Structure 1
Amino acid sequence: MAGAGGVSESVFPDLGAEDSGPTLIESLCMNCLENGMTRLLLTKIPFFKEIIVSSFACENCGWVNNEIQSAGKIQEQGVQYKLHVSSKEDLNREVVKADCATTKIPELDFEIPPFTQKGALSTLEGLIDRAVAGLEQDQPTRKATDPDVASKIEEFIEKLTKLKDVEMPFTLVVDDPSGNSFVENPNAPQKDEALMITHYKRDAVQDSMLGLQASTEEEKSQNTMEDLRNEVLQFGTNCPGCNAPAETNMKIVQIPHFKEVIIMATNCEACGQRTNEVKSGGATEPLGTKITLRITDPSDMSRDLLKSETCAVSIPELEFELGMGILGGKFTTLEGLLNDVKELTVAKNPFFAGDSTIPERSEKLREFGQKLNEIILGKREAHIILRDSAGNSYLQNLYAPDPDPEMTVEKFERTFEDNEELGLNDMNTEDYQEQKVDN
């Protein structure tokens, strides 16, 4: 086994042709209580973190059981995918469902609670088949002991099965507080009109369900920010790339003509990966901010840029839109942001590489990457739009304090949907003590 810096690489090797193969473990069959064989594979799938793949087979009774368990870290925010299914092509979308995710089909009032199924990497059709198989498992016993219940379940199974014909549109909701589930966007890098992705902060109940300790009021105190204003804080963490121990530096920085932000930077000595993340140091602004820049010169690429977690990025000329929460918070340059977009949509897209690649999609993605390169090199004019409903994003004005002729900054009233995504509709900051006593 390797040293501390290389433990994660030896335990979770990349999935490839040179894999050493699964580990064989003799295990007890829970069906016939005889011994069977479990094949255990610890690997790392791109864009799905580290996973543990286990496959059990019993030669005595023929029972088999396959599972996928996430071995990666819990994300900072939960995620909810809401897919409007209107055609059979939607049934072929890849779905990564963590075991802590809740799956719903509102039209049938159907719900799979968290931790009732193991994690799975499948298609939407595969999820439906899995749900049908689970309901059919105890039907012979129900028919003998409670025919009425068995009949109702049989009717419900028929409704689930008919979903695969997509005679009527329906909605699939995957809500994962760990943030490790995923639903494919076949139109990437363009926005998927049928798929809505919402990132949210976990509540105390969800933290407890995941085994996390809720933050105390002292940890949220603003006095902590004052103490850290003139110093760099270091704390231990794990590298997001190789999971080796690393150090993260945190510092409060005042951006000219803007506000204070918290910058966190991690440098991994084991694999060399460097990451930075930015959090707003202030409260949510009364109004949202929309920044539009007309890119006309290569010098625009050097503009400083702060993208908060609540900021959506769009490039109208490429029909491209990056939703809020994706890429996280960043303090970089405009060139750095566009390179991150290119890496996310082209270089690290799991559904446009490997054996499952569709030529038409790959060609479409290559063209998108070429157009992005032309914008970065100043060979193509374009507009970049930063829409931040919390008002915490910033793009450098090269003519400050005078207006920038190529850039417009607009303030806008948030919609109900904007406030819902920010969690402001349920937030009360007035008379909350009196209301707490009344309740």
Structure 2
Amino acid sequence: MSVIREKGVRGDPIFKNISAEEDDMQPTVVESLCMNCYENGSTRLLLTKIPFFKEIIISSFTCPHCNWSNTEIQSAGRIQDQGVQYTLKVKSKMDMNREVVKADSATTRIPELDFEIPAFTQKGSLSTIEGLINRAVAGLEQDQAVRRVTDPEVAAKLDEFIAKLKTLKNADTEFTLVIDDPSGNSFVENPCAPQKDPDLVVTRYKRTEQQNAALGIQENDTVDEKHADYLESLKNEVLIFNTNCPECNAPAKTNMKLVHIPHFKEVIIMATNCESCGHRTNEVKSGGATEEQGTRITLHLTNPIDMSRDLLKSETCSVLIPELDFELGMAALAGKFTTVEGLLKDIKDLVLKNPFTCGDSSASDRSEKLKSFTDKLDKIVAGERAHLVLDDPAGNSYIQNVFAPEPDPEMTTENYTRTFEQNEDLGLNDMKTEGYEA
């Protein structure tokens, strides 16, 4: 830990991007006690950052005395606001090579085999789908030699089940892999990025009280009766509080300001500026309640002037560009208060930072698709006609109407009733606001 503190003090990035350069990816070696033979071994710690995901800590222990080894991965970020569930239809051998980050709090299931790996029974891992299956097979085979002597009947059933697991690696038959992580820190690769993956469904949900307890989170059920008055006092005040830089984890300061958007509502703008590494970030949160209906805003981009329109994208808003067959999920870019041009450039930067579409891990055809996509996006920024759609189930997103208070001929706003699944994602189905007894 002293090595980590020294890097933070000097301002060097603690969590570095994955790189093929050895100088950039030097692990920290720590002498550790081997829990197998109780001699001294060594642990290698690598603090790295997966673009398009988050920071992780990879640790690898080896013992030169008994040759025992152990490798695991831990999330270096905070527990997310919502849990996440990945449901993947594995149809081919290529799907077995998808990168997977599985946190120790994640539950892994294969419904076709009625197979489940409960949460907190395995350490976190950075692997592939094939690697997850190999790890499950190794765990089941661990005590088979003893079982064949003490309980041959159970051992025979396990051998039969292990054979079924091994056949999954050939991808001869389609099966479903479900990774359910209440902490929100697990991840499954989307090889179709920046397009939506037709075989992968990502669902975010509100954690239950039991899941919060398992993660060590204590909910605060108290409600501040003076909340409205407090927000009123913040309108002309910039609050400053201490935090850590999301890039290098060094101490930094975050500014927060309550801003009223004309013809819309109040939003909270948060900006962080790190003096150590120079990283800057900003995020926007809605200052109001969830609307009764969702909102779908469609803007027809017909003039380069449209690029300067103010735009508010909440953290629950999806972005669609039909001409590019592109869809950006609600949690990909968090909340932003920017312009149309700024949003398109952020989308381009997000796509280019995806580690599975660039560098040594990128296939040639995937790189060509990525270049074609970014070229088309640049043309739209330069003035080519297209449609921009903001779909926000919470109704907290906004695009500036330059003709206000008159209707905008190039923009349509549609209010719609949310589905049960959308209310579930927003945590509204479990919310009760009436009928409480004193």
TM-score by length of 1: 0.91
Q: Distance in 2 between matches of 1:400 and 1:316?
A: 26
Return 5+ residue gaps in structure 2 as ranges. Answer: none
Aligned AA (2:152): P
In the TM superposition, residue 423 of structure 1 has moved relative to its aligned partner by 2.1
In the TM superposition, residue 333 of structure 1 has moved relative to its aligned partner by 0.8
Aligned to 1:158: 163
Aligned AA (2:160): E
Report if aligned partners of 2:313, 2:398 keep a CA contact under 8 Å in 1.
yes
Q: Does 1:79 align with 2:84?
A: yes
C-alpha distance 160-24 of structure 1, shift in aligned 2 (>3 A): same
Question: Which secondary structure does the structure 1 equivalent of 2:139 belong to?
Answer: helix
Question: Which secondary structure does the structure 2 equivalent of 1:9 belong to?
Answer: coil
Aligned to 2:314: 308
In the TM superposition, residue 176 of structure 1 has moved relative to its aligned partner by 2.2
Aligned AA (2:147): R
Map of 1:53-64 to 2, 5 A cutoff?
A: 53-64=58-69
1:124-182 Cα offsets, whole Å, 9 max, x none, are 11111111111111222222233333233222222222222333322212222332221
Q: Does 1:244 align with 2:250?
A: yes
Between 7-16 and 261-270, report the one with greater CA deviation. Answer: 7-16
In the TM superposition, residue 410 of structure 1 has moved relative to its aligned partner by 0.8
Between 330-339 and 78-87, report the one with greater CA deviation. Answer: 78-87
Aligned to 2:416: 412
Report if aligned partners of 2:15, 2:247 keep a CA contact under 8 Å in 1.
no
Report if aligned partners of 1:199, 1:325 keep a CA contact under 8 Å in 2.
no
Map of 1:38-53 to 2, 5 A cutoff?
A: 38-53=43-58
Report if aligned partners of 1:81, 1:196 keep a CA contact under 8 Å in 2.
yes
Report if aligned partners of 1:313, 1:384 keep a CA contact under 8 Å in 2.
yes
Q: Distance in 2 between matches of 1:152 and 1:90?
A: 28
Aligned to 1:336: 342
Aligned AA (2:211): Q
Give the number of aligned pairs.
432
Aligned AA (1:80): Q
Question: Which secondary structure does the structure 2 equivalent of 1:299 belong to?
Answer: helix
Between 10-19 and 322-331, report the one with greater CA deviation. Answer: 10-19
Map of 1:12-31 to 2, 5 A cutoff?
A: 12-14=15-17, 15=19, 16-19=21-24, 21-31=26-36
C-alpha distance 289-220 of structure 1, shift in aligned 2 (>3 A): farther
RMSD: 2.4
Between 363-372 and 268-277, report the one with greater CA deviation. Answer: 268-277
Q: Does 1:89 align with 2:89?
A: no
Aligned to 1:191: 196
Question: Which secondary structure does the structure 2 equivalent of 1:355 belong to?
Answer: helix
Report if aligned partners of 2:283, 2:336 keep a CA contact under 8 Å in 1.
yes
Given the alignment, which residue of 108, 114, 117 partners 2:122? 117
Aligned to 1:149: 154
Return 5+ residue gaps in structure 1 as ranges. Answer: 435-439
C-alpha distance 393-165 of structure 1, shift in aligned 2 (>3 A): same
Q: Does 1:101 align with 2:106?
A: yes
Aligned to 1:391: 395
Q: Distance in 2 between matches of 1:42 and 1:306?
A: 34
Q: Does 1:290 align with 2:296?
A: yes
Q: Does 1:136 align with 2:153?
A: no
Given the alignment, which residue of 382, 403, 408 partners 2:407? 403
Q: Distance in 1 between matches of 2:339 and 2:248?
A: 26
Question: Which secondary structure does the structure 2 equivalent of 1:150 belong to?
Answer: helix
Q: Does 1:127 align with 2:132?
A: yes
Q: Distance in 2 between matches of 1:335 and 1:215?
A: 39
Given the alignment, which residue of 232, 235, 241 partners 1:235? 241
C-alpha distance 226-192 of structure 1, shift in aligned 2 (>3 A): same
Question: Which secondary structure does the structure 2 equivalent of 1:18 belong to?
Answer: helix
In the TM superposition, residue 419 of structure 1 has moved relative to its aligned partner by 1.8
Question: Which secondary structure does the structure 1 equivalent of 2:355 belong to?
Answer: coil
Aligned AA (2:193): A
Aligned to 1:437: none
TM-score by length of 2: 0.91
1:363-409 Cα offsets, whole Å, 9 max, x none, are 1101111111111111x211011111111111111101111111111
Given the alignment, which residue of 44, 67, 76 partners 2:72? 67
In the TM superposition, residue 279 of structure 1 has moved relative to its aligned partner by 1.5
Report if aligned partners of 1:7, 1:244 keep a CA contact under 8 Å in 2.
no
Q: Distance in 2 between matches of 1:42 and 1:51?
A: 6
Q: Distance in 1 between matches of 2:125 and 2:11?
A: 23
Sequence identity, in percent? 66
Report if aligned partners of 2:284, 2:336 keep a CA contact under 8 Å in 1.
yes
Q: Does 1:368 align with 2:373?
A: yes
Aligned AA (2:56): I
C-alpha distance 370-220 of structure 1, shift in aligned 2 (>3 A): farther
Between 99-108 and 297-306, report the one with greater CA deviation. Answer: 99-108
Q: Distance in 1 between matches of 2:231 and 2:207?
A: 22
Q: Distance in 2 between matches of 1:326 and 1:219?
A: 31
Report if aligned partners of 2:205, 2:424 keep a CA contact under 8 Å in 1.
no
Report if aligned partners of 2:14, 2:249 keep a CA contact under 8 Å in 1.
no
In the TM superposition, residue 196 of structure 1 has moved relative to its aligned partner by 1.3
Q: Distance in 2 between matches of 1:136 and 1:425?
A: 43
C-alpha distance 411-24 of structure 1, shift in aligned 2 (>3 A): closer
Given the alignment, which residue of 5, 9, 12 partners 1:9? 12
Q: Distance in 1 between matches of 2:257 and 2:142?
A: 56
Aligned AA (2:107): T
